[in-house]
Amino acid sequence: MAKISAAPQLRSLFEKFEIDEEQIARLKKFEKDFTDAVPGAIDAFYAWLKGQNEYKVFFGDDEKKLSKIIGLQRDYWDLFTHFEFDEKFHASRKHVGSVHAMINLPNEIYFAGMANFQTSLLNVLYSSKLSKEKDVQFLRRTLIKLVQVDTCLVVDEISKIQQEKIKETNEAIMEMSTPVTTIWDGILLLPLIGLFDSQRAQDVMETVLSKVETTQSKAVVLDISGVASMDTGVANHLIQITNATKLMGCETIISGIAPSIAQTLVELGINVGEVQTTGTLKDAFNLGLQIIHAKVVAVE
């Protein structure tokens, strides 16, 4: 009887799609029929792909590259039509997902390609030999579910890699956009850009409070002109930061509040209380000078 990999992800997928080893064994009886159909399915797929814009993008006139990809695709479907869903199968689907993520293959091309192959495999079931099988409809349902499992494995790997890229990008942005700088004796500046969530808010608070303690500053300017949007959670985090600095004897000024964000705060009913806000960084700096009782004398 056919075996399903013990890998938790693969085992879980087969359970969710209600596919067991007995069902796979019934398909495996026709392994040769399906394997023999792979070359024709690949030819049909590339005949279709040549009519798509993505063909020129990924292949152009590079026949050598095309030949290599076709060979890899033949291996891909040969492995599928052996109906051995083991560790080798699982690893191959994760690899394909990582390659697709790396080259940024459009999802619609991948899904369309899988649908194309599914049709070719179903045509095998309706051949003169297999169509006489009394459980042909049962085999059809099992085959469709197996293609869906295959697709899920690849898409899941693509999603994981994309999420890792987003995480790395956000971390890089956070590292670049959370430096607390002394712009005047007693005044700190922290420009915020990009994504601002609860985790980043906690990092900002720790960074600001640490800098306030070491510099004994009396004013902190948080410039949010680089924050594209704001919701209730983000607004509340900013208020928490201002309250925390106030406990340390330091006033926080929030600058760069765009009209759209101001309107959002009003619509959300955020109670900003005694939080000091300004529209521009210049106004925030002037307010900071007032807090530390500094006077700027113009030099003629």
Domains of the chain, residue spans? 8-171, 178-291
The closest alpha carbon to 223, from 198, 248, 252, 262, belongs to 252
Q: Do domains 8-171 and 178-291 have the same CATH topology?
A: no
- The label of the residue with tokens 């700027």 reads 296
- The label of the residue with tokens 């005949």 reads 47
CATH architecture for residues 178-291 = 2-Layer Sandwich (3.30)
Per-residue pLDDT of the chain (300 residues; tens, 9 = 90+): 566 777 788 888 999 999 999 999 988 988 998 999 999 889 888 888 888 888 888 888 888 888 998 999 999 999 999 999 988 999 999 999 999 998 888 888 899 889 989 998 888 888 767 777 778 888 899 999 999 999 999 999 999 999 998 888 777 766 665 678 999 999 999 988 777 777 778 888 888 999 999 999 999 999 988 887 777 777 888 888 999 999 999 999 999 887 877 777 777 676 666 688 888 999 999 999 999 987 555 545
Between CA 65 and CA 87, with CA 149 as vertex, the angle to 5 degrees is 75
The answer to whether 289 and 296 have CB atoms below 8 angstroms apart is yes
Q: Tell me how crowded residue 73 is: count the other CB atoms within 10 A of its CB.
A: 18
CATH architecture for residues 8-171 = Orthogonal Bundle (1.10)
Distance CA 150, CA 158 (A): 13
- The label of the residue with tokens 């680089």 reads 226
> Using N-to-C axis directions, what is the helix angle for 198-215 and 136-177, rounded to 10°?
20
What are the DSSP calls for 200-248, one per residue?
HHHHHHHHHHHHHHHHT-SEEEEEEEE-----HHHHHHHHHHHHHHHHT
Longest dimension (CA), the chain: 100
